[in-house]
Amino acid sequence: MTKKIILKGMPVSKGIAQGRVKLVTGVKDSQNFNEGDILVTKITDPTMVMMMSKAAAIICDVGGMTSHPSIVSREMGTPCIVNTKEGTTKLKDGMQVIVDGTKGEVYQVFSQSFNPAFDIDKYLDTVTDACSSMDYATFDDTISWFSYDPLIAKSWTQRILKLIDDCQKSKLSFEEIGLFFPSISQLRNMMLFDLWMANYTEISGAARKKIFNFYTNILEAACIEDPHASKFKNVIHSQEQISSLVSDMQTADEKIAKTLGKIANICYHFGHAAYSDMNPSTCYENYGSYDVSGIYGSGHIMVVKEFNHLRCPELWPETKDINFNRIHIVAVYENVKVKVDNISHVTYQGELIKNLKYYRLLVNGQDYPIEKIDQILEIVGQQAISLFEKFQKLDFEDRKMKYYHMKAYVYKWLYDRLGQAWQPSQEILNEAKNQKLFKIEWPKDRQGRWQLTRNITDPRIVVREK
């Protein structure tokens, strides 16, 4: 089990309780209120008296130390938090939470239990929308997961199932596990790839669900909202982190905006060259959008563009001398809308160049003068060209082996934490050796691709033979 804080308020009655959230508006809710439920309401009133007696804890949107729920809760010894302001909007019926009436904090609880079917369907709708919108012809000269991944499905899936067990044995929380992935988008990508591969094995339905649940729980723990990006948000920064990021912003103009665009262009292509077209989010990520209208005025949003792991000597020894590993851009736009889909694609509505109002450029976590960025861009750009050309020149067998190392590299930091080797096992490499690429007939229409992708990634469907 793991937990993350999702709500704060005024602590008015000490104690800690765990239970199922029940939103209450009046006496009509008493029939569905059970002993040990967490009573969540705007403010308690006399119609709730029987439910209050059954409640393991009480949470209210408003109230103070001498409010009705506060006084009564102290008499009963029931943990209580008031003045949360948004308890009835943030908390949902059935959600498992821990209420700390001493600290005034509410935590959401995540378990290894399998998510309900409607959660699977929602995920499948989201990921298949993202996949079916792509033009798969763009993979013709590079790499595609649907051609390469089925070749190692059996051994790779066993590796992932063992990894899940090892994380549990090591008592790593889902929050911790999420920190060891290079980005949230890459985490979502690996969820897609691993569910896809699981379809080409003979593992049980329970094992497929185990993979689905593992990734879903990490995403729920890591994201502030919208863990599968179903609403096109990629949000992991707390309000405190947002405030820190915008604390030292610089005023932007069109020249600066175009320079930042060049940084994004060069680092984006480095990600594709170093980690392939399937795993570029090991390098680049887009977080947002964040509403900063309270700081900069109506219509302003913040986006964080991260480019990490520019030094990857384990994959490409020639990058070992790069003396910077991270380039981050914090951008505040006016009248621009941002969408980030389930598999890392970002789209904008609005004028990015004209409407960039403020920015912050960081290299290795330190503010960096934009006037000195050209030398860094030259290094990254040349590396992107060199690595891509080197990869393209590999023969077919070496190309497969390099791709599987790129894939395994995504888990490097998690395997480092577990004290295990990150490289693909010899069993994985042998499974793919001398095999031709897997062929899949993609329907020409988008709806057909959508349905096929959905069927293959659905963890409830067993089994599709290679």
325 CB-near residues (< 8 Å, 6+ apart): 308, 309, 310, 311, 364
Q: Are residues 379 and 282 in the same domain?
A: yes
CATH of residue 82's domain is 3.50.30.10
Q: Are residues 361 and 416 in the same domain?
A: no
Confidence of residue 415 (pLDDT cuts 50, 70, 90): very high
**Domain-located, residue 408:** yes
Q: Which of 357, 388, 419 is the last residue in one of the domains?
A: 388
Q: Which of 330, 362, 388 is the last residue in one of the domains?
A: 388
Beta strands in 292-430 (DSSP E): 300-307, 327-334, 337-340, 346-349, 356-363, 366-367
Range of the domain at 450: 117-222+398-457
Exposed / middle / buried, residue 422 (Cβ in 10 Å: 0-12, 13-18, 19+): middle
**Domain-located, residue 232:** no
Which residue in this structure is represented by tokens 């059970």?
Answer: 34
Alpha helices in 46-180 (DSSP H): 49-54, 68-76, 87-90, 117-132, 145-148, 153-169, 174-179
Confidence of residue 71 (pLDDT cuts 50, 70, 90): very high
Q: Are residues 71 and 129 in the same domain?
A: no
What is the per-residue pLDDT for 3?
Answer: 62
Q: Are residues 278 and 381 in the same domain?
A: yes
Q: pTM to 2 decimals?
A: 0.76
Q: Are residues 268 and 377 in the same domain?
A: yes
pLDDT of 118 above 60? no
Closest C-alpha among 197, 18, 28 to residue 105: 18
For residue 308, the number of C-alpha atoms closer than 13 Å in the C-beta half-sphere is: 17
pLDDT of 461 above 80? no
Instruction: In whole angstroms, give the CA distance from residue 134 to residue 446.
Output: 9
What is the per-residue pLDDT for 127?
Answer: 87
Cβ pair 97, 18 in contact under 8 A: yes
Q: Are residues 406 and 384 in the same domain?
A: no
Instruction: In whole angstroms, give the CA distance from residue 369 to residue 326.
Output: 15
- Reply yes or no: is the peptide bond before residue 463 cis, omega within 30 of 0: yes
Q: Express each pLDDT in 18-57 by its tens digit.
A: 888 999 998 989 888 999 999 999 999 999 999 999 999 9
**Domain-located, residue 462:** no
Closest C-alpha among 40, 37, 3, 6 to residue 20: 37
Q: Are residues 193 and 294 in the same domain?
A: no
Candidate from 137-141, 151-155, 351-355 with smallest mean pLDDT: 137-141
Closest C-alpha among 314, 325, 313 to residue 379: 325
**Domain-located, residue 59:** yes
**Domain-located, residue 233:** no
In the chain, how many domains are there? 3
Q: What's the mean per-residue pLDDT of the chain? A: 90
**Domain-located, residue 143:** yes
Q: Which of 110, 138, 168 is the last residue in one of the domains?
A: 110
CA 213 from chain center: how many Å?
14
Q: Express each pLDDT in 77-114 by its tens digit.
A: 999 999 999 999 989 888 888 999 999 999 887 655 54
Instruction: Please name every residue paired with 211 in a beta bridge, in sequence order, or none if there are none.
Output: none
**Domain-located, residue 98:** yes
**Domain-located, residue 227:** no
Q: Are residues 308 and 351 in the same domain?
A: yes
Return the percentage of the chain with pLDDT > 90, whole number: 67
Instruction: In whole angstroms, give the CA distance from residue 21 to residue 25.
Output: 13
* Mean pLDDT on 224-246: 88
What is the per-residue pLDDT for 426?
Answer: 96
